[in-house]
Each structure stands twice: as structure tokens, then as C-alpha cells.
């Protein structure tokens, strides 16, 4: 029995037509799809070609760069630049924002070309995360770094497992699966489930004693109610939360035995990790906050690689965490 599924491009064409939108966004999305497929290919063959190791350099965040980080970044840059629709990018692997098409570009793209680097040497799942915001089309463009509130779309490819999840502003969060000819097919709308039975909790438990005391207290009482899952790649961990509900968090490190190792800003990057997943989570009926209980989407970046603590997931759980985080001692 032949089965012809609805592709992501079918879905997007219909969406654009229904909302009377331009074709520019289609061109942009096509370039992101091309990039994801290329990364998928390089990742699948990475072990064979010796591409899973270190590149020998250190990035702007002080982290060792892998060959795959570099390859993925080059791939994304190439396709975005070629689209002609991008005014400026912020990439995890580029120290400064990179200008592309200053005259004709309509979109800002903020991306992490390879998220979950600790999985790379094992060829286990990683992510390609991106957020898209529009330039000012009415007046002069000041190139300010956009908050998640200004994103019009945000998505993630989980590689090489072959899923793609994208949220479009006020149009929901949708998941697609790769088929045998590398099309992403079968749109399924993602809505965080209300039933606590499937909820999961996801965080690096090795850091637990470094969290704020109130949060540690909350964990001691509540975490046993949920299944614990942690892959170590935000894209993969959040992928599960979107399906099953629950909480992903990367809290501030404030009680490290070596105070120099505290990270009050957490680890994850606002523009291309936290705001991207927060945008998707909100379109799926969830919520995302930082250590001070502020909505992640309201945080306006002051610098491209700004970090933030992140709590992401089902509204009820975020509300519980918000109470302990903001409770006066």
C-alpha cells in the first residue's frame, strides 16, 4: 500500500497562503531544511570520516570546538547566506553577529548548529536549534538583538533521529518525521499533556547540590512523582518534554563548594537555546522562566552569547518552581 504523507513544505505553503504571507519565509525555511539535511548526512558519516573529534580550537564560550560544530556552522551559514533573505545571524560558533544581506535580508536567524556536543563522540542525538525574527520593514533597522517575543518562528531538528519540530507565531507547535527521501512529513500538532502520569523531569542531577536551597527543597519533595530522564542535549531532552509534559531545567549554579565555579547565569544561551525552546514550549501550551521567575520570552539580550538559567515545560510545574524561586527567605 503506497502512502503519500503531507510534507513540511506542503504544510508551510498552505500556512503562508492561508495567512496571505510572502514567499520570503518559504525561501528562508527551504534554506534551513537544506542545512539540516546536510548536517544529518555529515553526522551519520562522521565516525567513518573521522569527523567526530576535536577541531583543536576553543570557541567564544571557552568550550572545545568539535569538527562537527565547525562543519555544521559552515553548512548553516552557507545556506542562509545563499537564500538572500537573511540580514544578520547570531551563531553559537561565531564570536560576533555576522551581517549577511544588509539591503535585501528580511530575517534575523539565531542558531546553535550543533547542540549537545557531549553526545557527538558517541554519534548519539544532537540538535540544530534556530529562532527567526523579522527586520524592521517600516523604518530604519537598528540591528538590535531580538527577544523571544519578537521571534516569528523557532524550531529544532533532532539529528540523526530525523525529527523536526517548529513553532510558528500564534499558529502552534508542529512535529515532522523524516521519510525515506529526506522529506519531513506528517505534521502533528504538539500540545503539552495535562495528565501528570506521563510527565518527566530532566536536569543534570550531578549539579543538584549547587542549586538554590528552595529549589533543592522542592526537588526533595516532588521529583519522585515523575520519571527522571536526561540525555544531555537540550534538543533531545526538550523533545521528550514536548511529548510527555513535565519539566526541563538548567538552573543557576549558586551553591558550588568552590564559589569560583558558581554560574548565577546558568549555562544555556538565551538567544539560540533558551528563547528558541521557550518559544516552542509556549506555542505548545507551556511556559519558560529564568531564575528570577521572568518569562524567558521577555528577556532582551544585551549580548549575543548571554546565558540564562532555564525552566521549561508544563505550566503547572513551572508555577510550582516559580513559587520556590521567588519566595523570600
Q: Which residues bind ligand AHG (CB under 6 A)?
A: 63, 92, 112, 115-118, 204, 232-234, 250, 267
Between 146 and 267, whose beta carbon lies closer to ligand AHG?
A: 267
Nearest to 291, CA basis, from 299, 282, 300:
299
Q: Shortest distance, CB of residue 61 to ligand AHG, whole angstroms?
A: 7
Between 92 and 150, whose beta carbon lies closer to ligand AHG?
A: 92
Nearest residue relative to Mn ion (C-beta): 115
Size of the site for Mn ion (CB under 5 A): 4
Contacted by 118, from ligand AHG, Mn ion, none: CB < 5 to 8 Å by type = ligand AHG
Q: Shortest distance, CB of residue 111 to ligand AHG, whole angstroms?
A: 10
| Binding residue (CB under 5 A) for Mn ion from 66, 85, 92, 288 | 92
Contacted by 151, from ligand AHG, Mn ion, none: CB < 5 to 8 Å by type = none
Residue 115 binds to Mn ion (criterion: CB under 5 A): yes
Contacted by 233, from ligand AHG, Mn ion, none: CB < 5 to 8 Å by type = ligand AHG
Q: Shortest distance, CB of residue 84 to Mn ion, whole angstroms?
A: 26
Q: Which positions touch Mn ion (CB under 5 A)?
A: 92, 112, 114-115
Amino acid at each position: 500500500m503506497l502512502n503519500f504523507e503531507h510534507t513540511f513544505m506542503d504544510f508551510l505553503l498552505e500556512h503562508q497562503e492561508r495567512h496571505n504571507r510572502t514567499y520570503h519565509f518559504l525561501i528562508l525555511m527551504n534554506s534551513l531544511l537544506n542545512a539540516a539535511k546536510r548536517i544529518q548526512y555529515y553526522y551519520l558519516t562522521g565516525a567513518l570520516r573521522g569527523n567526530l573529534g576535536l577541531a583543536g580550537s576553543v570557541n567564544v564560550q571557552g568550550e572545545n570546538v568539535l569538527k562537527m560544530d565547525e562543519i555544521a556552522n559552515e553548512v548553516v551559514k552557507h545556506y542562509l547566506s545563499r537564500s538572500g533573505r537573511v540580514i544578520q545571524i547570531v551563531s553559537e560558533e561565531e564570536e560576533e553577529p555576522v551581517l549577511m544581506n544588509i539591503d535585501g535580508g528580511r530575517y534575523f536567524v539565531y542558531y546553535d548548529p550543533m547542540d549537545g556536543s557531549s553526545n557527538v563522540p558517541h554519534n548519539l542525538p544532537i540538535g540544530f536549534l534556530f529562532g527567526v525574527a523579522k527586520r524592521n520593514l517600516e523604518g530604519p533597522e537598528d540591528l538590535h538583538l531580538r527577544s523571544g517575543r519578537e521571534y516569528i518562528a523557532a524550531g529544532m531538528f533532532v539529528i540523526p533521529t530525523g525529527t523536526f519540530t517548529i513553532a510558528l507565531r500564534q499558529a502552534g507547535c508542529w512535529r515532522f518525521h523524516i521519510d525515506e527521501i529526506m522529506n519531513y512529513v506528517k505534521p502533528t500538532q504538539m500540545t503539552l499533556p495535562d495528565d501528570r502520569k506521563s510527565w518527566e523531569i530532566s536536569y543534570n542531577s550531578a549539579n543538584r547540590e549547587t542549586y538554590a536551597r528552595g529549589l533543592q527543597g522542592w526537588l526533595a519533595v516532588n521529583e519522585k512523582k515523575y520519571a527522571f530522564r536526561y540525555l544531555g542535549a537540550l534538543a533531545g531532552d526538550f523533545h521528550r518534554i514536548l511529548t510527555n509534559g513535565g519539566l526541563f531545567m538548567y538552573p543557576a549554579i549558586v551553591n558550588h563548594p568552590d564559589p569560583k565555579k558558581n554560574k548565577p547565569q546558568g549555562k544555556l544561551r538565551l538567544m539560540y537555546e533558551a528563547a528558541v525552546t521557550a518559544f516552542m514550549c509556549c506555542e505548545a501550551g507551556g511556559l519558560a522562566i529564568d531564575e528570577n521567575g521572568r518569562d524567558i520570552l521577555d528577556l532582551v539580550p544585551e549580548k549575543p552569547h548571554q546565558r540564562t538559567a532555564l525552566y521549561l515545560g508544563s505550566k503547572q510545574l513551572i508555577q510550582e518552581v516559580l513559587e520556590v524561586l521567588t519566595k523570600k527567605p
